[in-house]
Amino acid sequence: MSETFVSAAAPAVSVIVPVRNEADNIAPLVDEIAAALAKDVDFELIYVNDGSSDRTQAALTALMASRPWLRQIKHNVSCGQSAAVSTGVRHARAGIVVTLDGDGQNDPAFIPALLDAMAKAPQVGLVAGQRVGRQATGFKKFQSRIANAVRGLVLRDGTRDTGCGLKAFRRELFLALPYFDGLHRFLPALVRREGYDIAYVDVIDRPRRTGTSNYGMWDRLWVGILDLVGVWWLIRRRRRVPRVLEVKRDAD
Protein backbone atom coordinates (compact mmCIF):
# COMPACT_ATOMS: atom_id res chain seq x y z
CA MET A 1 0.00 0.00 0.00
CA SER A 2 1.29 3.45 -0.90
CA GLU A 3 0.16 6.73 0.65
CA THR A 4 1.01 10.13 -0.80
CA PHE A 5 -0.33 13.36 0.68
CA VAL A 6 -0.60 16.90 -0.67
CA SER A 7 0.28 18.42 2.70
CA ALA A 8 -0.18 17.88 6.41
CA ALA A 9 -3.38 19.92 6.30
CA ALA A 10 -6.61 18.05 5.66
CA PRO A 11 -8.16 18.65 2.22
CA ALA A 12 -11.68 20.04 1.83
CA VAL A 13 -12.96 16.96 -0.02
CA SER A 14 -12.00 13.30 -0.23
CA VAL A 15 -13.09 11.55 -3.43
CA ILE A 16 -13.32 7.77 -3.09
CA VAL A 17 -13.40 5.35 -6.02
CA PRO A 18 -13.79 1.61 -5.31
CA VAL A 19 -12.36 -0.54 -8.10
CA ARG A 20 -11.77 -4.16 -8.96
CA ASN A 21 -10.05 -5.05 -12.24
CA GLU A 22 -10.56 -1.64 -13.87
CA ALA A 23 -7.00 -1.01 -15.10
CA ASP A 24 -7.98 0.46 -18.47
CA ASN A 25 -10.54 2.82 -16.95
CA ILE A 26 -8.30 4.34 -14.29
CA ALA A 27 -6.20 6.97 -16.10
CA PRO A 28 -9.06 8.67 -17.98
CA LEU A 29 -11.25 8.84 -14.87
CA VAL A 30 -8.44 10.17 -12.65
CA ASP A 31 -7.85 13.03 -15.07
CA GLU A 32 -11.58 13.78 -15.31
CA ILE A 33 -11.91 13.96 -11.52
CA ALA A 34 -8.91 16.29 -11.31
CA ALA A 35 -10.33 18.52 -14.05
CA ALA A 36 -13.66 18.77 -12.22
CA LEU A 37 -12.10 19.80 -8.90
CA ALA A 38 -8.56 21.12 -9.32
CA LYS A 39 -9.47 24.77 -9.97
CA ASP A 40 -11.77 25.33 -7.01
CA VAL A 41 -11.36 22.61 -4.37
CA ASP A 42 -8.46 21.31 -2.29
CA PHE A 43 -9.02 17.56 -2.63
CA GLU A 44 -7.54 14.10 -2.33
CA LEU A 45 -8.46 11.16 -4.53
CA ILE A 46 -8.49 7.73 -2.88
CA TYR A 47 -8.73 4.65 -5.06
CA VAL A 48 -9.62 1.53 -3.07
CA ASN A 49 -8.19 -1.43 -4.99
CA ASP A 50 -10.56 -4.22 -3.97
CA GLY A 51 -8.37 -7.27 -4.56
CA SER A 52 -7.78 -6.66 -8.28
CA SER A 53 -6.01 -9.38 -10.26
CA ASP A 54 -5.26 -7.26 -13.36
CA ARG A 55 -2.96 -4.22 -13.81
CA THR A 56 -5.02 -1.95 -11.54
CA GLN A 57 -2.30 -1.59 -8.90
CA ALA A 58 0.39 -0.86 -11.48
CA ALA A 59 -1.77 1.69 -13.29
CA LEU A 60 -2.50 3.56 -10.06
CA THR A 61 1.13 3.42 -8.88
CA ALA A 62 2.32 4.92 -12.16
CA LEU A 63 -0.15 7.80 -11.91
CA MET A 64 0.72 8.49 -8.26
CA ALA A 65 4.27 9.44 -9.24
CA SER A 66 3.05 12.70 -10.79
CA ARG A 67 -0.18 13.28 -8.85
CA PRO A 68 0.49 13.97 -5.15
CA TRP A 69 -3.23 14.11 -4.38
CA LEU A 70 -3.77 10.49 -5.54
CA ARG A 71 -3.70 7.67 -2.98
CA GLN A 72 -4.19 3.91 -3.32
CA ILE A 73 -5.56 1.69 -0.54
CA LYS A 74 -5.51 -2.03 -1.30
CA HIS A 75 -7.54 -5.03 -0.13
CA ASN A 76 -5.54 -8.24 -0.42
CA VAL A 77 -8.74 -10.05 -1.45
CA SER A 78 -11.97 -8.72 -2.92
CA CYS A 79 -14.43 -7.81 -0.16
CA GLY A 80 -17.14 -6.07 -2.19
CA GLN A 81 -18.19 -2.52 -2.94
CA SER A 82 -19.54 -1.64 0.51
CA ALA A 83 -16.31 -2.78 2.17
CA ALA A 84 -14.25 -0.80 -0.36
CA VAL A 85 -16.28 2.37 0.23
CA SER A 86 -16.01 1.91 3.99
CA THR A 87 -12.24 1.46 3.76
CA GLY A 88 -11.97 4.64 1.73
CA VAL A 89 -14.05 6.65 4.19
CA ARG A 90 -12.00 5.42 7.15
CA HIS A 91 -8.78 6.50 5.39
CA ALA A 92 -10.20 9.82 4.15
CA ARG A 93 -8.84 13.03 5.70
CA ALA A 94 -11.62 15.42 4.68
CA GLY A 95 -14.91 16.00 6.46
CA ILE A 96 -16.83 15.80 3.17
CA VAL A 97 -16.61 12.63 1.09
CA VAL A 98 -17.62 12.07 -2.54
CA THR A 99 -17.96 8.59 -4.02
CA LEU A 100 -18.27 7.44 -7.61
CA ASP A 101 -17.91 4.17 -9.49
CA GLY A 102 -14.64 3.28 -11.17
CA ASP A 103 -16.00 2.15 -14.54
CA GLY A 104 -16.40 5.67 -15.98
CA GLN A 105 -20.21 5.62 -16.10
CA ASN A 106 -20.45 8.29 -13.37
CA ASP A 107 -19.42 11.66 -14.84
CA PRO A 108 -17.10 13.57 -12.45
CA ALA A 109 -18.32 16.84 -13.96
CA PHE A 110 -21.32 16.56 -11.61
CA ILE A 111 -19.18 16.50 -8.44
CA PRO A 112 -19.25 20.32 -7.98
CA ALA A 113 -23.07 20.23 -8.14
CA LEU A 114 -23.14 17.63 -5.34
CA LEU A 115 -20.84 19.77 -3.21
CA ASP A 116 -22.86 22.92 -3.88
CA ALA A 117 -26.07 21.20 -2.82
CA MET A 118 -24.47 20.09 0.44
CA ALA A 119 -22.98 23.51 1.18
CA LYS A 120 -26.36 25.22 0.85
CA ALA A 121 -27.96 23.37 3.76
CA PRO A 122 -26.13 22.30 6.94
CA GLN A 123 -28.89 19.80 7.75
CA VAL A 124 -28.24 17.85 4.53
CA GLY A 125 -26.24 14.74 5.38
CA LEU A 126 -26.26 13.15 1.93
CA VAL A 127 -26.49 14.42 -1.64
CA ALA A 128 -27.42 11.54 -3.94
CA GLY A 129 -26.96 11.46 -7.69
CA GLN A 130 -30.03 10.30 -9.60
CA ARG A 131 -29.27 8.82 -13.00
CA VAL A 132 -31.08 9.94 -16.13
CA GLY A 133 -30.64 8.27 -19.51
CA ARG A 134 -29.22 5.21 -17.82
CA GLN A 135 -26.77 3.18 -19.92
CA ALA A 136 -27.62 -0.43 -19.08
CA THR A 137 -29.27 -3.48 -20.59
CA GLY A 138 -33.04 -3.68 -20.58
CA PHE A 139 -32.92 -6.56 -18.11
CA LYS A 140 -30.69 -4.65 -15.69
CA LYS A 141 -32.96 -1.60 -15.90
CA PHE A 142 -35.92 -3.85 -15.14
CA GLN A 143 -34.13 -5.30 -12.12
CA SER A 144 -33.32 -1.82 -10.84
CA ARG A 145 -36.90 -0.61 -11.25
CA ILE A 146 -38.22 -3.56 -9.27
CA ALA A 147 -35.55 -3.20 -6.55
CA ASN A 148 -36.11 0.55 -6.21
CA ALA A 149 -39.88 0.13 -6.11
CA VAL A 150 -39.75 -2.51 -3.38
CA ARG A 151 -37.19 -0.55 -1.37
CA GLY A 152 -39.21 2.65 -1.63
CA LEU A 153 -42.40 0.86 -0.58
CA VAL A 154 -40.77 -0.70 2.50
CA LEU A 155 -38.38 2.06 3.62
CA ARG A 156 -40.14 5.16 2.25
CA ASP A 157 -36.76 6.84 1.77
CA GLY A 158 -37.97 9.17 -1.02
CA THR A 159 -35.16 8.08 -3.36
CA ARG A 160 -35.84 6.76 -6.84
CA ASP A 161 -32.27 5.57 -7.57
CA THR A 162 -30.03 4.34 -4.75
CA GLY A 163 -27.72 2.51 -7.17
CA CYS A 164 -26.00 5.63 -8.49
CA GLY A 165 -22.40 5.70 -7.27
CA LEU A 166 -22.21 9.51 -7.32
CA LYS A 167 -22.84 10.63 -3.75
CA ALA A 168 -21.56 13.24 -1.33
CA PHE A 169 -21.90 12.87 2.43
CA ARG A 170 -20.41 13.86 5.77
CA ARG A 171 -17.62 11.51 6.84
CA GLU A 172 -18.53 11.64 10.54
CA LEU A 173 -22.12 10.71 9.73
CA PHE A 174 -21.12 7.74 7.56
CA LEU A 175 -18.82 6.37 10.25
CA ALA A 176 -21.67 6.55 12.79
CA LEU A 177 -23.92 4.32 10.65
CA PRO A 178 -24.21 0.59 11.39
CA TYR A 179 -21.94 -1.19 8.92
CA PHE A 180 -23.05 -4.22 6.90
CA ASP A 181 -22.28 -5.59 3.45
CA GLY A 182 -24.63 -3.69 1.15
CA LEU A 183 -24.65 -0.51 3.22
CA HIS A 184 -24.00 1.74 0.21
CA ARG A 185 -27.37 0.78 -1.32
CA PHE A 186 -29.32 1.94 1.75
CA LEU A 187 -27.58 5.22 2.57
CA PRO A 188 -30.63 7.49 2.05
CA ALA A 189 -32.79 5.52 4.48
CA LEU A 190 -30.02 5.27 7.08
CA VAL A 191 -29.11 8.95 6.79
CA ARG A 192 -32.75 9.91 7.32
CA ARG A 193 -32.77 7.60 10.33
CA GLU A 194 -30.06 9.78 11.86
CA GLY A 195 -32.23 12.89 11.45
CA TYR A 196 -30.50 14.41 8.40
CA ASP A 197 -32.05 15.60 5.15
CA ILE A 198 -31.27 14.25 1.68
CA ALA A 199 -30.66 16.39 -1.40
CA TYR A 200 -30.75 15.09 -4.98
CA VAL A 201 -28.91 15.98 -8.19
CA ASP A 202 -29.83 14.57 -11.59
CA VAL A 203 -26.73 13.18 -13.31
CA ILE A 204 -26.11 11.81 -16.79
CA ASP A 205 -25.24 8.12 -16.95
CA ARG A 206 -22.52 7.21 -19.45
CA PRO A 207 -21.62 3.94 -21.19
CA ARG A 208 -18.86 1.90 -19.58
CA ARG A 209 -15.56 2.61 -21.33
CA THR A 210 -14.07 -0.88 -21.26
CA GLY A 211 -14.49 -4.19 -19.47
CA THR A 212 -17.51 -5.66 -17.72
CA SER A 213 -19.22 -4.97 -14.41
CA ASN A 214 -17.45 -6.41 -11.37
CA TYR A 215 -20.18 -5.60 -8.86
CA GLY A 216 -23.24 -7.32 -10.30
CA MET A 217 -26.86 -7.20 -9.17
CA TRP A 218 -28.29 -10.65 -9.75
CA ASP A 219 -25.87 -12.46 -7.40
CA ARG A 220 -26.87 -10.23 -4.45
CA LEU A 221 -30.66 -10.37 -4.94
CA TRP A 222 -31.50 -12.60 -1.99
CA VAL A 223 -28.92 -10.97 0.27
CA GLY A 224 -30.45 -7.61 -0.69
CA ILE A 225 -33.87 -8.80 0.49
CA LEU A 226 -32.42 -9.74 3.88
CA ASP A 227 -30.64 -6.36 4.04
CA LEU A 228 -33.93 -4.61 3.28
CA VAL A 229 -35.61 -6.33 6.22
CA GLY A 230 -32.67 -5.45 8.46
CA VAL A 231 -32.71 -1.77 7.51
CA TRP A 232 -36.49 -1.64 8.02
CA TRP A 233 -35.94 -3.03 11.53
CA LEU A 234 -33.23 -0.45 12.28
CA ILE A 235 -35.53 2.38 11.23
CA ARG A 236 -38.42 1.04 13.30
CA ARG A 237 -36.19 0.81 16.37
CA ARG A 238 -35.18 4.47 16.25
CA ARG A 239 -38.28 6.63 16.26
CA ARG A 240 -36.80 9.91 17.54
CA VAL A 241 -33.42 11.53 16.99
CA PRO A 242 -32.55 13.98 19.79
CA ARG A 243 -30.97 17.36 19.15
CA VAL A 244 -28.05 17.43 21.58
CA LEU A 245 -27.02 20.74 23.15
CA GLU A 246 -24.73 21.23 26.13
CA VAL A 247 -26.17 23.70 28.63
CA LYS A 248 -23.50 26.05 29.92
CA ARG A 249 -23.35 27.00 33.59
CA ASP A 250 -24.30 30.53 34.55
CA ALA A 251 -21.41 32.97 34.76
CA ASP A 252 -20.37 33.84 38.32
DSSP per residue over 118-141, as a string? HHT-TTEEEEEEEEES--S-HHHH
Residue 245 belongs to a domain: no
Strands (E), the chain: 13-19, 43-50, 70-75, 96-99, 124-132, 167-170, 197-204
Q: What is the CATH number of the domain that holds 211?
A: 3.90.550.10
> What does the pLDDT read at residue 45?
98
Q: How many domains does the chain have?
A: 1
Residue 151 belongs to a domain: yes
Residue 217 belongs to a domain: yes
**Residue 218 has what DSSP assignment?**
G
Rounded Cα gap, residues 160 and 16, in angstroms: 23
The mean pLDDT of the chain is: 83
pLDDT band at 232 (very low <50, low <70, confident <90, very high): low
Rounded Cα gap, residues 210 and 51, in angstroms: 19
Domain that holds residue 189: 13-236
Residue 66 belongs to a domain: yes
* 3-class SS string, 145-156: HHHHHHHHHHHC
For range 138-142, the mean pLDDT: 54
Of 161 and 98, the one with more pLDDT: 98
Residue 249 belongs to a domain: no
Cα–Cα distances in Å, from 10 out to 5, 32, 93, 116?
A: 9, 22, 5, 19
Residue 6 belongs to a domain: no
pLDDT band at 227 (very low <50, low <70, confident <90, very high): confident
Q: For the whole model, what pTM was predicted?
A: 0.79
Residue 165 belongs to a domain: yes
34-56 pLDDT, tens per residue?
999 977 789 999 999 999 999 99
| Residue 89 · residue 16 · CB < 8 Å | yes
3-class SS at 227?
helix
Residue 127 belongs to a domain: yes
